[in-house]
Every structure is written in structure tokens, then in C-alpha cells.
Amino acid sequence: MNEKAAPGGGGPTNGPLPPGIPDGFSGPIDRTAQFESVNGQTGENMRAEAPRPRKRDTDGGDPARSREFDLLGIGLGPFNLSTACLATSVPQMRTHFLEQRADNRWHPRVLFPESDLQVSFLKDLVSLVEPTNRFSFLNFLVHTGRIHRFASTPQVPVPRWEFARYYAWAAGQLANAEFSRGVTHVQFLSDSFHVHTEQGVYTARNLSVGAGLVPSIPACAKSHVGPRVLHSSDFLAARERMVGQHVAVVGGGQSGAEIFSHLLDRPPARRPASITWITRRNTFACMDDSAFTNEFFHPDYVRYFHQLAPERRHDLLSRQQLASDGISTALLQHIYRRLYENDFADPDPIRYRLLPGNALRDMSPQGTGWHLGLLHQDSGTRGGSIVDTVVLATGYEFALPDFLAPLADRLPDPSPLGLPLRDDYSVPWAGPDRNRIFFLNAGRHSHGIADPNLSLASWRAAHILNSLVGTAHFRTGGRTSTCEWPGLHTANETTAVDGAYLDVTVPAEGRRG
């Protein structure tokens, strides 16, 4: 879809309700009244007291009615979690979120204790759109009694484990979230979605699909996946089996670097016998974390990107890869220094090979291990490596979740980059306009490289909720970029003050020259 974003802001403005707005929504929402009504607390005492779980059944104990929702979220990773947290300040809207796991865990199989969050902690579940929301990261620090020590510890960037605990803290207090509720299939009957779980059926007018991405496995490795050919998402559970083995890590992004570094840093008795690190890129490339590139992760750029022609978006995505898929500078420096120590100081050095510029072309069993066929990207020479275990740090891609199979023929064809989403993250589908299906983490091709990133989680969630309630309940508009992007702003709009643009055009007499 190539829809033009409204200049100066993507959030809907007050006016007639768009299709899909549940009954009972009538016009702009009084935010003060809502704020006071959450948990029956005022803004002041909400700040002073620890958030408490709310009563789960909001319909006087009638379980059937309590299962009919305006918005039902499937999956409770960070993205739907953000929607669930922000929805607590829109109490007129009946939302509910289902998660298959017994509790909230953020990438549990690949969360290294030593790895850091790759975004600012301000990019938490709520703060970029509603910093007063009780589910902010700072509120988590206060309520878990660590804010003073956090403030005195050089914690930038924040370790990933800390954000995992923050997510679990938030999820554990949501009255609109249920765990151990794996969704098996979704049907659309007359005017609502019927969402099936082992425990029962939930009905909703709109869906928010946040079931995450699936491992991207190179074609030549697909038939070999098992205990000795595994995706990076299964690494932690498998690492003890790699002690004393020859291990290849395929992939030169952050995950590949974290796994290589983790294996390198293990105590000598628990290391592999050797590690071979392979990437198709011509070097182990650094993430472009520079100031203006970071504006690709601002709402303005997302709006600009969305209105471009599909071919152009495709081209930009491939050129912007290192803005999201490169390796952090700190990790690269750590690895480089560690290899120096390994080679010149370590009494018990590990054997390693670094193979940039090599594409994995084929794989075949060799004894109890694997022969990896490599093609050098510059010279065209063929090479190989024989290893016991292969870790595929080859990223993630979109696939339509199995539970949506009953609706597949009413949806556009998915690609590994997602679905052709509308500006408000809903998908055009062969069903009533008043019933929308929002997709989170399925818009790389429609909304750009920010889509799988945590940066805009709260902005996207707010944009979706605004679209559902039909008002600018959350402030999602206003200029957010230093750069000018065609179709969005005029040259005179430089910054937003209270939702209005400040015109800082320099008066003629003040101009230089």
C-alpha cells in the first residue's frame, strides 16, 4: 500500500469515527477523567504507590461477556506489551492480550548476561508518548528499589537483562493480559474475530497480532536443522554441547558477534576446540549509530518511508542495513581486544578463523559433523570448513502465524519483510472495514527498518490506539526530525511546541550575507 501520510502528523484528529470503532466511543476522550479512573487512583497517588493488579473481570463476573473485546492482542512480546500498557490509559476501550508462555520472557534462549540494550532506556514501553504512564522504565526502577543505585551506576547502555526484568514487571501487573493462552486459530464470523485457545474462545472486533518473527534459515541448511545445526535463538540451551567441538558461527550481525564473543570468553575448560566466524559482508561491520542515521528510527522518517513507492522502499532497506543489523562498536572493540590477548598473552589460546566476504553456499554431512561450502564474494573462489556444530546467526523474518491460516486467503501475500500494511499498521483484508487486523513487527517493507526495533514500540502502539479510538488521545504527531523529508513538512517547520509548529524563520534583517 502506498498511502500518503498527513503532513505534520500521522495521528487521526478529532472528527467522525472511522470504521471499526467500537460502540460507546463518542468523540474526544477526557484524559484527566481517565487518568483518575485507572485503578481508581489519582495521578498523584498512582505515582506514590506500587501499581496493583486490577480486578480481572470487568463485567460483574460474567466470563462470557468479559471475553468480548474491542481489541484482542495475540502474543505479549515487547510490542503488544507496549500496546497493553498504553491501553490502560484508554479505559473506555476493552482490550485483552493473550500469551502462550506461562509468564513474560524476552528472548530467553539468547539473552546473554553480558549483552546490552541497543537503544536508549527512554525507548521503553510508554515513555516516548506517555511518560506519566505507570509502566515506564523509571517507574520500574523506583518500584523495585533501585533508582538511586541505577542513577549512580554508569548504566548506559542498560544491560538487556534489566529490560527483560522490566518487561516481566510490567506484564505481571496488567489486568488485560493472560498467560498460558496459546492461540491455535482465528476465525472471522459475521462481525467479529473468534480467537481459539485450548482454554476457550475469545471474541473481538479488532486484532493486534504481535507473535514475533521466525528464524531465517539459509536454504542450504533447512533440511539439516537439529541439535548440531541450530539457529541463534536456540544457542543458550545448546552451548554446553559445544564444549571441545569445532563450531562455526554463520552471520556477521549483532547476534553472530554476541555468540562469537560469548564462546571466546568462556573459561578454557568450557570452550569449543575452535570457532569459525563466517559473514557474507566484506568485514565484520559496525552498526551505523550516527546521529542522522538514527533519524531513520523517528516517526517522521517512518511516515516518509511509508509513502514511497514499493520498489524505492525495497532499495532503501537494502542500503540501510547497517543502521540496524551491524555490530555495536563496543562489542567489536571487545572482540578485537580479546583476540589480541588470545594471540599474544593467553597461555591457553583458542583456535579461531575469521572469514569475512564468504557466503554459505552448501552444507553436507561429513562424519559426525558438517562440511560447509563457501563462496568468496570478491574473488569467486570456493572454500570450505569442516565443523561439528553450526550456529546460524542469520536473523529473523516474517511468516504468517499458523493461527491465521483460516484467514490466509483473505489477507495479502506475506513476504519475509512482512505485509503491505496501511499507515496505521492495519492490513488491507477481504473483510469488513470496521474490523481491523493490526500487525506489529510485520512492517519492515511498509514502514522501514525501525519496524522490528524497540525504538518506536510505544509510538506505534499509540498510533494504533489513536486510530482505534478515532482521536489524538496520545500525541503522535508533530515534527520529530532534524532533516526535511519530502511530503511531510515545510522548510519553516522546525520544532513542535505543545503540538504546534514553532516558526523560526529568520527575519530578513537578521540573515547573514
Which C-beta is closer to ligand FAD: that of 395 or that of 477? Answer: 395
Distance CA 461, CA 125 (A): 9
Which C-beta is closer to ligand FAD: that of 363 or that of 461? Answer: 461
Nearest to 213 by CA among 230, 227, 232, 200: 232
**Closest CB 506 distance from ligand FAD, rounded Å:** 37
Site stretch for ligand FAD (CB under 6 A), options 115-123, 245-253, 302-310, 416-424: 115-123
Binding mask 473-502 for ligand FAD (x = CB under 6 A): ------------------------------
Binding mask 155-184 for ligand FAD (x = CB under 6 A): ---------------------------xx-
Taking CB atoms, the residue at the shortest distance from ligand FAD is: 77
Distance CA 320, CA 153 (A): 33
Distance CA 439, CA 212 (A): 10
DSSP-derived letter for residue 252 is -
Q: Tell me how far CA of residue 505 lies from CA of 481, 491, 495, 497, 499, in angstroms.
A: 17, 9, 12, 15, 18
Contact 12, 28 (CB under 8 A): no
Nearest to 208 by CA among 513, 506, 467, 485: 467
Alpha helices in 208-309 (DSSP H): 235-238, 254-265, 299-306
Site stretch for ligand FAD (CB under 6 A), options 116-124, 264-272, 310-318, 458-466: 116-124
- Name the β-bridge partners of 210: none
- Tell me phi and psi for residue 187, to 5 degrees: -120, 160
**Closest CB 353 distance from ligand FAD, rounded Å:** 24
Q: Which of 440, 464, 468, 469 binds ligand FAD (CB under 6 A)?
A: 440
**Closest CB 193 distance from ligand FAD, rounded Å:** 14
Distance CA 375, CA 373 (A): 7
Q: Which of 21, 72, 117, 207 binds ligand FAD (CB under 6 A)?
A: 117
Which C-beta is closer to ligand FAD: that of 418 or that of 452? Answer: 452
**Closest CB 98 distance from ligand FAD, rounded Å:** 5
**Closest CB 6 distance from ligand FAD, rounded Å:** 26
Contact 10, 303 (CB under 8 A): yes
Helix (H) / strand (E) element for 152: namely: helix 147-152
Nearest to 135 by CA among 179, 95, 84: 84
Binding positions for ligand FAD, 23-82, rule CB under 6 A:
74-80
Binding positions for ligand FAD, 284-343, rule CB under 6 A:
none
**Closest CB 256 distance from ligand FAD, rounded Å:** 11
How many alpha carbons fall within 13 Å on the CB side of residue 172?
A: 11
Distance CA 182, CA 160 (A): 26
**Closest CB 371 distance from ligand FAD, rounded Å:** 28
Distance CA 52, CA 172 (A): 10
Site stretch for ligand FAD (CB under 6 A), options 113-121, 143-151, 272-280, 339-347: 113-121
403: contact with ligand FAD by CB under 6 A: yes
- Name the β-bridge partners of 355: 278
Binding positions for ligand FAD, 79-108, rule CB under 6 A:
79-80, 98-101, 106-107
**Closest CB 163 distance from ligand FAD, rounded Å:** 8
Contact 208, 71 (CB under 8 A): yes
Helix (H) / strand (E) element for 438: namely: strand 437-439
118: contact with ligand FAD by CB under 6 A: yes
Which C-beta is closer to ligand FAD: that of 285 or that of 457? Answer: 457
Helix (H) / strand (E) element for 207: namely: strand 200-209
Which C-beta is closer to ligand FAD: that of 73 or that of 470? Answer: 73
Which C-beta is closer to ligand FAD: that of 12 or that of 452? Answer: 452
Residues with Cβ within 8 Å of residue 344, at least 6 apart in sequence: none
Site stretch for ligand FAD (CB under 6 A), options 83-91, 204-212, 327-335, 498-506: 204-212
**Closest CB 82 distance from ligand FAD, rounded Å:** 8
Q: Tell me how far CA of residue 106 lies from CA of 164, 216, 450, 453, in angstroms.
A: 5, 19, 19, 14
Nearest to 229 by CA among 371, 399, 416: 371
**Closest CB 144 distance from ligand FAD, rounded Å:** 20
For the chain, how many residues are written?
Answer: 513
Which C-beta is closer to ligand FAD: that of 202 or that of 403? Answer: 403
Contact 272, 350 (CB under 8 A): yes
Contacts with ligand FAD: how many residues (CB under 6 A)?
30
Q: How many helices (H) and strands (E) does the chain have?
A: 14, 19
Which C-beta is closer to ligand FAD: that of 274 or that of 441? Answer: 441
Which C-beta is closer to ligand FAD: that of 77 or that of 251? Answer: 77
**Closest CB 395 distance from ligand FAD, rounded Å:** 9
**Closest CB 440 distance from ligand FAD, rounded Å:** 5
Binding positions for ligand FAD, 441-470, rule CB under 6 A:
441, 452-455
Q: What residues make contact with ligand FAD under the rule CB under 6 A?
A: 74-80, 98-101, 106-107, 110, 117-119, 182-183, 210-212, 401, 403, 440-441, 452-455
